[in-house]
Structure 1
C-alpha cells in the first residue's frame, strides 16, 4: 500500500468512497454522567487562551506514571473529548478516579485561565437512538511512533490551528451527534529505549544516517539524503520527552445515513493536517465497521495499546482546547473574566 493510501485511505483516489459505511442501530444506547466510569468533567474554556501551548502545560502537569514491582506500566488512562450534540460543540475530560479528577480541576484551571471546570451533569455521552446510523474511525500512525507527527513546536508550527477545520467538520444538523475522543496513558521515561527486542531511537537515527545499499548487480552504498539526516535529528530529539500512549476515535450518529458517514469521514480526514513531510509521519484513519464495539469503547473510555505514542507537544497539538481564533460558530465558550464555576447540574452555557 502506498504512503498516500496509508495516510488518506481510499479517499485519496476514489471520489465516491464507501469505506465509511455506517451501521443502523436496532436499539438505543444512552449513558448518564452518573453511569460513566470514573469522573466526567465538563470544561467551558475562556475564549482567550493559548490553545496548544496551554494544552502542553496541562499534559505535563498530569504526566504521572505508576509501575508495579516488575516495572510494568500500571498508570491510569484518561480521555479528552470534543462533542457536537446537535446544539453546540462542548469540551470534556474524563478522569479515571476522583483523585485524578481533582487534579484535572486544579490543573485545567491553572493552565486555562478564567475557564470553568465542573463535574458534568445529565448526559455522560450524546444519546444514540434506535434507527440512527453510526459511522466511525480510529486513528493510527503511518510509521513507527519514533517518527513524530507535525506539531506546534516542530520548527514549522501551524499557519492555522487544525482544530478550526476539525470543529467545522463536526458541525451538522440538530439530530446529529459527532464525537472526537482521545484516550491517553502516560509512558515511562524509557519509552524510547526499545525494550528487550526493539530498536531505540538512537538505533533508528543511526540507521537513517548510515545510507543504503543500492543495486544488486553492482551494489554500492548510497549516502543518506539531507531529508534522512534531518529526520534522524528529529527522531533523536524524542529521547527524554514525556509521552503518552494514545487512542483517537471518531464517532458520528444521525438519522440521515449520508450525514453520519460524511461527518465521520470528514472529521477523521482533517487529522491528516498533522502530516510531517520530513519524517513522513501522519495519522491513518481506519473506518470502524463494528458499531457496537465502537460504542462500547467510547462509553467505557477504553484504552488499548495501539502502538501510538505521542510526546506532550504532539498530543497537545492533536487534543487541545482551541481559542476563538478558529472562528467556528456554536462553540461553548466562556466570555467572562472571573473564574466562577458552573454548578454540576447545570446545562447552561455560552455560545457564539
Structure 2
C-alpha cells in the first residue's frame, strides 16, 4: 500500500491496468443504490451540506457496542464532458432517506436513482489510469479547515471541479466514503492515543524542544487557540472517512495531470491554526506490473464503494467541506445544473435543522448514461 515511500516521494505514473474488455459497472450489478443529483444553483453550498450530513448521521452498534453502521459515498464525476454529482446509499432505506434529505437541504435539486447506463465511468483497455488516496497529515483530532474554522474565501469546489475538467473522452472521479462515528469518538480509544481533552491540555502545557539540553517552550497563543479548537469537538457528530481519486484517459500525461491536480486542490483544506491538512498518497509501485495491479484494485474498490479503515475521522462541518453540493458561487463550466424550480410541501419527517421547504423527493425516472467493517 505504501510502496511509493520507497520511490523517493509521491509519484503519479498513469498505467494501463490490463483489462481485456472494457471495465463496466452496471447499476443492477453494483452493491447498494446510486443516486444522481442535479443541483439547483441557488443553495447555501457547504452550509446546506452540513445540514444534510447531520440528518443522515445514524449510528448502529451491536450488543457489544461495536460500530456496525453502513457506509455511503458522495461522488463528483467528470464523465462525458460534464461535471456530475452522485450519492451512493448502502440500502434502499438509506437511498430513500437521502432522496428526501437532499430535497430538504438543497431546494429545487433533482435526485433520482441511476437505473440505466453505468454506475461508474467506463474504462477502456487502452486507457491509462492514475489514482490516489487522501490522508490527514496529523492525527484525526486536529481538524482541517472548514466553514466554521477559518472559513473559505470561496468554495474550494470551484478549484477542485475546474481541475477535474479534461478531454471529453477522459474521466475523473473524486469519491468520499463516510460512515457515522459513535458519540465516544473523541475519547481516544479507537486511535490508540489520548482524548481531545488530553491533547488540548498538552498543548496548553507548552512544547518540549531541544535534544541535548531539552526544555519546555511555553505555550504560544497559537497553541492555546489550537487547544480550544480541538476540545470544541467534544460532543460533535463525526464520520469515519475515506477519500479517493481516479483519473482515466487515453492520454497518459493527461491522466497523471488530472489526478495530481485534483489531489493538490484538496490542500485548500489546510487549517493554519491546528496545522492539519490533507496529503495525497498516489497509488504507485516502481514495477509496472504491480502498479497496474494496485491501480486495478483501487478502481475496483471505488466502483464497489468499498470501505477501508484509513484512520481518518471528520466532524460534520469538516466533512461538509469535502462532500457537498456547490452553488452558483463556483464558475466551473460544464456542470450538470438543474435550471427549473419546484414548489412543493415539506416532508412529514422534516426536523428543525432542515432549512428548506421541499418535497418528499423527486419522481423516480430512468437515468441516462452516467451513470463494514466496524471500528
Find out whether 1:133 has 2:128 as its counterpart. Answer: yes
Distance 2:367 2:265 in 1: 32
Find out whether 1:228 has 2:223 as its counterpart. Answer: yes
Structure 1 equivalent of residue 46 of structure 2: 52
The 3 A distance-change label for structure 1 pair 232 and 295 is same
Report SS of the residue matched to 2:179. Answer: strand
Structure 1 equivalent of residue 55 of structure 2: 61
- Work out whether residues 112 and 367 of structure 2, in 8 Å CA contact, stay in contact via their aligned partners in 1: no
Structure 1 equivalent of residue 32 of structure 2: 38
The 3 A distance-change label for structure 1 pair 128 and 342 is farther
Find out whether 1:97 has 2:91 as its counterpart. Answer: yes
Find out whether 1:79 has 2:73 as its counterpart. Answer: yes
Distance 1:33 1:337 in 2: 28
- Work out whether residues 86 and 172 of structure 1, in 8 Å CA contact, stay in contact via their aligned partners in 2: no
Specify which of 315, 328, 336 is matched with residue 340 of structure 2.
Answer: 336
Structure 2 equivalent of residue 16 of structure 1: none
Structure 2 unaligned regions, length at least 5:
285-293, 344-360, 371-375
The 3 A distance-change label for structure 1 pair 42 and 227 is same
- Work out whether residues 113 and 367 of structure 2, in 8 Å CA contact, stay in contact via their aligned partners in 1: no
- Work out whether residues 99 and 362 of structure 2, in 8 Å CA contact, stay in contact via their aligned partners in 1: no
The 3 A distance-change label for structure 1 pair 229 and 335 is same
Distance 1:217 1:245 in 2: 40
Report SS of the residue matched to 2:246. Answer: strand
The alpha carbon displacement at 1:22 in A equals 1.1
Distance 2:228 2:264 in 1: 29
The 3 A distance-change label for structure 1 pair 254 and 214 is closer
Structure 2 equivalent of residue 313 of structure 1: 317
Report SS of the residue matched to 1:331. Answer: coil
Distance 1:101 1:212 in 2: 48
Q: What is the aligned residue count?
A: 334
Provide, for residues 93-126 of structure 1, a one-character-per-residue CA deviation record: whole Å limited to 9, x for no partner: 0000101001101111100001111001311011
Structure 1 unaligned regions, length at least 5:
1-5, 12-18
Specify which of 120, 125, 137 is matched with residue 114 of structure 2.
Answer: 120
Structure 2 equivalent of residue 262 of structure 1: 257
- Provide the TM-score with structure 1 as the length reference: 0.91
Distance 1:32 1:218 in 2: 63
Structure 2 equivalent of residue 182 of structure 1: 176
Distance 1:84 1:215 in 2: 49
Distance 2:364 2:304 in 1: 25
Report SS of the residue matched to 1:150. Answer: coil
RMSD value, Cα = 1.9
The alpha carbon displacement at 1:217 in A equals 5.9
The alpha carbon displacement at 1:218 in A equals 5.4
The alpha carbon displacement at 1:10 in A equals 5.1
Distance 2:166 2:366 in 1: 26
